[in-house]
């Protein structure tokens, strides 16, 4: 396992569409392990495969409710109720913007063995699912941000 280089928003790979995962094999598991390690190393709550330069439909998310590995994820329901909060991205270090997202979503995906799963999420977890699945179609949070926030002075 290894911490991978995170591609930045300026890299073209982040604007491309990812292909579905078809093989649930050691190569996928190694990639997922690397994604988790890279996310943890960067203190992130989510990471999508294109962020490490791999155009496959896979994301890892951990907002404090345990690690979720979502392969070929599809949001199948979004609540009408929304949340508007600050959002950032490991591919845009130190930058945050206000993004409106559904308060709750339901997502269908496959786990690392190819088993069909679904999850209901709300609040930050729902936001993370929206953000990471956006990466799989080349969409970045800045495309949706209504306002960018002043950078932290550190």
Identify the active-site residue in 132, 147, 150, 154. 132
Q: How far is CA 141 from the centre of its chain?
A: 11
Q: Measured from the CB atom, is 70 or 89 closer to Ni ion?
A: 89
Total number of residues that touch Ni ion (CB under 5 A): 1
Binding mask 86-105 for Ni ion (x = CB under 5 A): ---x----------------
Does the footprint of Ni ion cover residue 35 (CB under 5 A)?
no
Does the footprint of Ni ion cover residue 60 (CB under 5 A)?
no
Q: Measured from the CB atom, is 32 or 89 closer to Ni ion?
A: 89
Question: Catalytic annotation on 154?
Answer: no
**Least separation in angstroms between CB 138 and Ni ion:** 12
Catalytic residues: 132
Residues that bind Ni ion (CB under 5 A): 89
């Amino acid at each position: 396992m290894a911490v991978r280089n995170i591609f930045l928003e300026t890299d073209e790979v982040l604007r491309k569409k990812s292909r579905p995962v078809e093989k649930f094999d050691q190569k996928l598991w190694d990639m997922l392990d690397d994604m988790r390690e890279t996310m943890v190393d960067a203190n992130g709550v989510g990471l999508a495969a294109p962020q490490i330069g791999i155009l496959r439909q896979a994301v890892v998310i951990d907002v404090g409710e345990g690690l979720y590995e979502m392969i070929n994820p599809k949001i199948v329901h979004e609540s009408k109720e929304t949340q508007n909060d600050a959002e950032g991205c490991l591919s845009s270090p130190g930058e945050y913007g206000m993004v409106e997202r559904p308060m709750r979503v339901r997502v269908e995906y496959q786990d690392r063995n190819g088993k069909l799963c679904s999850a209901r999420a709300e609040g930050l977890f729902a936001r993370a699912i929206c953000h990471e699945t956006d990466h799989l179609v080349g969409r970045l949070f800045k495309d949706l941000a209504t306002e960018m926030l002043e950078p932290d002075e550190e």
